[in-house]
C-alpha cells in the first residue's frame, strides 16, 4: 500500500504497469486505488494505492537478477496550485493501512516473505504552463517545423521537447510518429483537428497522462 499525503484529489488510473509481465506463468496481478482505513494516523484521511503480483501459482518462477525491475506504476492526480505558488505532497509506503485486511508491504523471495526497504518522497507540485498543442519546438506557431522537431527527437537523437504535452499532437499520452503525422495532416486534410487546447489558443492539457510540460514560454 502506498500511503498518500494530503492534497491528492483523485487518480488517473488503477491499472498495473509492469515490465515483469513476460514472466507471468498463470499468475495474478492487480492494482487498485483505495481510501486506506485503519487506526494508524498515517492511514487516516489519505488516499492510497494497492498493487499485488504473483508471477505463478503453479510453477517456480522468479525474476532474473538485474539492477532494477519496475513492478508497478500508479499514477495520482492532485490539484495544481495557483500561479506563483507551489504545493507539496508526500508519497510513502505505509504498512498496516486497511482496505479489507490490513496491508503489509512484502516481497516473497525463495518462498519466504521479506520486508522491503521502504522509501518516501516529497513531491513539489508547480502550476503547469499553458501551451499550444503541436508546438513541439516552442516558437509560438504550429507548422511543419514542429513535425520535423518530433521526428528529430524520435529518430535522430535530438533532445526531448521541453513541453511534451505540446508535442503530443494527438493527446494520447505518448510521443510517437503519429504526433508528427497529425501535425502534417492538420495542414492538408480536413477534420483532423489537433485536440484541445489546439494549435491557436493557449490552454492547459484537459487530459491527464504520463507526459508533462516542463516549460513553455510562448503563452502568457
Ligand atoms: Ca512551432
Ligand atoms: Ca501522441
- Least distant ligand from the CA of 205: 2
Note the pTM of the prediction, 2 decimals.
0.60
Supply the pLDDT for residue 155. 96
What spacing in Å lies between the alpha carbon of 174 and ligand 2's midpoint? Answer: 4
Are 117 and 187 members of one domain?
no
d(CA 199, CA 27): 46
Are 112 and 154 members of one domain?
no
What spacing in Å lies between the alpha carbon of 85 and ligand 2's midpoint? Answer: 30
Are 51 and 39 members of one domain?
yes
Are 83 and 137 members of one domain?
no
What spacing in Å lies between the alpha carbon of 143 and ligand 1's midpoint? Answer: 6
pLDDT digits (tens, 9 = 90+) for 59-102: 888 888 887 887 766 667 777 777 788 888 888 887 877 767 77
Q: What CATH number is attached to the domain comprising 191?
A: 1.10.1330.10
Please provide the DSSP assignment of 135-188 as one string.
-TT-SS--SHHHHHHHHHHHHS-PPPPSBHHHH-TT-SS--SHHHHHHHHHHHH
What spacing in Å lies between the alpha carbon of 178 and ligand 1's midpoint? Answer: 17
Domain boundary among 125, 143, 169: 125
Are 164 and 204 members of one domain?
yes
What spacing in Å lies between the alpha carbon of 184 and ligand 2's midpoint? Answer: 13
d(CA 85, CA 24): 45
pLDDT digits (tens, 9 = 90+) for 12-66: 455 556 677 778 788 887 777 666 665 566 677 777 777 778 888 888 888 888 8
CA 44 to chain CA centroid, Å, is 25
Domain boundary among 125, 146, 173: 125
Are 180 and 86 members of one domain?
no
The residue segments making up the domain with residue 45 are 2-125
CA 7 to chain CA centroid, Å, is 17
Amino acid at each position: 500500500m502506498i500511503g498518500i499525503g494530503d492534497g491528492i484529489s483523485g487518480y488517473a488510473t488503477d491499472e498495473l504497469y509492469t515490465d515483469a509481465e513476460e514472466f507471468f506463468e498463470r499468475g495474478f496481478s492487480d492494482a487498485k486505488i483505495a481510501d486506506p482505513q485503519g487506526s494508524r494516523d498515517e492511514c487516516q484521511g489519505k488516499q492510497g494505492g494497492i498493487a499485488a503480483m504473483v508471477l505463478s501459482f503453479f510453477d517456480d518462477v522468479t525474476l532474473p537478477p538485474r539492477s532494477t525491475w519496475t513492478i508497478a506504476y500508479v499514477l495520482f492526480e492532485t490539484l495544481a496550485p495557483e500561479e506563483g505558488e507551489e504545493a507539496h505532497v508526500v508519497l510513502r509506503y505505509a504498512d498496516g493501512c486497511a482496505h479489507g485486511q490490513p496491508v503489509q508491504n512484502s516481497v516473497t523471495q525463495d518462498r519466504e516473505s521479506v520486508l522491503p526497504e521502504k522509501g518516501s518522497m516529497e513531491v513539489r507540485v508547480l502550476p503547469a504552463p499553458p501551451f499550444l498543442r503541436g508546438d513541439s519546438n516552442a516558437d509560438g506557431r504550429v507548422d511543419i517545423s514542429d513535425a520535423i522537431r518530433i521526428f528529430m527527437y524520435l529518430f535522430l537523437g535530438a533532445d526531448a521537447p521541453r513541453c511534451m504535452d505540446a508535442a503530443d499532437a494527438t493527446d494520447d499520452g505518448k510521443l510517437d510518429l503519429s504526433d508528427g503525422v497529425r501535425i502534417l495532416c492538420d495542414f492538408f486534410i480536413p477534420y483532423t483537428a489537433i485536440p484541445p487546447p489546439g494549435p491557436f489558443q493557449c490552454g492547459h492539457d484537459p487530459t491527464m497522462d504520463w507526459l508533462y510540460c516542463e516549460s513553455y514560454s510562448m503563452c502568457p
